[in-house]
Structure 1
């Protein structure tokens, strides 16, 4: 039986919040059915027509595909190029996009453990939140001017997966939240309370939306994200993340003259004084940042003029080892060419995740040049419970 498009879209779009339907956002270490990754292209954000970034994105996708299925989204102009670079077992789908940050423009997947006989819509145990998006600030400091294609990515991904969709009018990027799957959400005031996101939303309203859409009971606000993370206004996934319930990794520096030191100290103060949704005190693991690293003139000269935010030589890069991806049985972690800190980070992660293989991605600097890193370019799709 054929179902017309309007009927299909109505059937796949759920009214109310995910919590209303029994959904919640699981922790990243929950088993995945798939990982979604974008394909870099725009020459005003990725140097030398993105050839270096594409090489590293390919390396990330191939590494993750050892542990779980991977889908790479590429534009029509880049599909053939992406397909030729990526291993055959990686699925490549054609999706138009303004830039390749699938963590932020793709859906936030939610799950539910049981199906209600009374539920008439969305019988799937996996669904997705389609947040609003304005390219990290819109007219007030956004990373690029035209984000019309990015607004459709989450919807298209959910259509491909035949997963129910929860539309959300609040502007939010996936990299601005981190959950433990047991009721606690981490975020930053620098990002979610920024006037360039949801200026009419007071803090309590944002918390209410996070609780209704992520299924969390408590939101812990760190004051700031990583120093230099101006593109995203301080996403949490560069600053702090959960290892497991009650345990977090925090970007750190021992250098009191480094501007990052104050931010890390502020975050440490909040985390030591807070408890999670279950009443647990946090075990805080410090993960030293690399460098500091700076954009070189050679790297900046490889960018073409466009509507993306200019990259100025000498700008400090927002490089963080916290920006890793938890795959099924592996930690896919960035390496920046700082041997001491690269080795140290791999060691710390191996202790934090003793049952996981630590996979180090060399040349992750190429991703941070564009404004993020491995966690930013990936989006996990949880397996059906």
Structure 2
């Protein structure tokens, strides 16, 4: 029997990749490194961090050694194009009490960006005897595009999974069947609406709607009729209202605000749904220097988890946030 764990289940480590000067972070590299440091420091008291540092990034390695000293930090010299571990990292499933790591293809979000090194990270981790039980899959799939309740239900959307540069030969019905077989889920809840301006991922579900327990979905809501997102996010909200649990009951829906964040006059896809759940019932929440909305998001999630807010204003300049730069692992060697 196969199951896809929920993010709140006990983890062994968080996989990350450190920003370097040959990536898009170069323009504000010092700020990016400081944000990554803050995230790593928040995780280390709870579990291990496996950190990929590019072999040519000597400055980054010196920075880490000068700021961190923890037996929970494992630094590996692995080439990377970028830092979005959520999408190139392995997806874990349980099979007969054993964790299997699935290595799906990663093609830079539908051939938008170079991914030659990132696509090899999981296999390199296996070769370096960090990951056990790695199985290569003949499908393009990013971790940010799916969310699991740990009890056989998967949440995703058609905007991303049916994008023509990922798996063009599959219909929705065929993908539904294939994902159920590979991931061991019993049912897939497909959304058809919702997006964030500036998003490169074709509407990853982890920026829009997330399980926070088997009966509760946190989602991005927009109440401003003058905001370009109003129509699509309200259509998504109506879809969420119609979803049912396995027991046939409506989900409890937890709205999170939509912040307006700009950089160089560009609207950025800032999202409070891009949180990371780690061990000890702790939630790392991205915030964006929008005090009223940051506090509103914190207060919405506090009844469920210990919330640690982390300023991700720098991360969102590259159109991703806290969940995007992390991937939980449920077993390591």
TM bucket, shorter chain: over 0.9
Q: Kindly tell me: are residues 367 and 326 of structure 1, through their superposed partners in 2, closer, same or farther at Cα, counting changes over 3 Å?
A: same
Q: Is the 8 A contact 1:218 1:276 kept in 2?
A: no
Equivalences, count? 326
Q: Is the 8 A contact 1:106 1:157 kept in 2?
A: no
Q: Is the 8 A contact 1:170 1:198 kept in 2?
A: yes
Instruction: Tell me the equivalent position of 1:81.
Output: 62
- Please list every run of at least 4 consecutive aligned residues from structure 1 whose deviation after the TM superposition is greater than 4 angstroms: none
2:118 to 128, 150, 167: 150
Rounded Cα–Cα distance in structure 2 between residues aligned with 1:289 and 1:85: 37
Q: Does 1:325 find its partner at 2:325?
A: no
Q: Does 1:36 find its partner at 2:19?
A: no
- String of CA shifts for 1:90-129, please: whole Å, max 9, x gaps: 2211111111111000101112344xxxxxxxxxx11201
Q: Name the larger-Rg structure.
A: 1
Q: Does 1:368 find its partner at 2:320?
A: no
Aligned ranges 1:109-120 → 2 under 5 Å: 109-114=92-97
Q: Is the 8 A contact 2:46 2:278 kept in 1?
A: yes
- String of CA shifts for 1:254-306, please: whole Å, max 9, x gaps: 1112122222211111111121344332111100011x11122xxxxxxxxxx
Q: Is the 8 A contact 1:82 1:92 kept in 2?
A: no
1:231 to 200, 203, 211: 200
Q: Aligned with 1:32: secondary structure? A: coil
Q: Answer 1 or 2: which has greater strand percent.
A: 2
Q: Is the 8 A contact 2:222 2:234 kept in 1?
A: no
Q: Kindly tell me: are residues 233 and 85 of structure 1, through their superposed partners in 2, closer, same or farther at Cα, counting changes over 3 Å?
A: farther
Farther off after superposition, 231-240 or 218-227: 218-227
Q: Does 1:105 find its partner at 2:97?
A: no
Q: Aligned with 2:3: secondary structure? A: coil
Q: Does 1:216 find its partner at 2:216?
A: no
TM-score w.r.t. length of structure 1: 0.81
Q: Aligned with 1:128: secondary structure? A: strand
Residue 156 of structure 1: CA displacement? 1.8
2:109 to 127, 131, 136: 136
Aligned ranges 1:1-385 → 2 under 5 Å: 22-42=1-21, 45-48=24-27, 50-78=29-57, 80-81=61-62, 83-84=64-65, 86-89=67-70, 90-114=73-97, 125-138=98-111, 142=112, 144=113, 146-159=114-127, 160-290=129-259, 292-296=260-264, 314-329=265-280, 330-351=282-303, 353=304, 356-362=305-311, 364-382=312-330
Q: Is the 8 A contact 1:42 1:99 kept in 2?
A: no
Q: Which runs of 5+ in 2 are unaligned?
A: none
- String of CA shifts for 1:238-265, please: whole Å, max 9, x gaps: 0000010121001112111212222221
Rounded Cα–Cα distance in structure 1 between residues aligned with 2:249 and 2:133: 34
Farther off after superposition, 78-87 or 205-214: 78-87
Q: Aligned with 1:76: secondary structure? A: coil
Rounded Cα–Cα distance in structure 2 between residues aligned with 1:77 and 1:202: 42
Rounded Cα–Cα distance in structure 2 between residues aligned with 1:229 and 1:265: 19
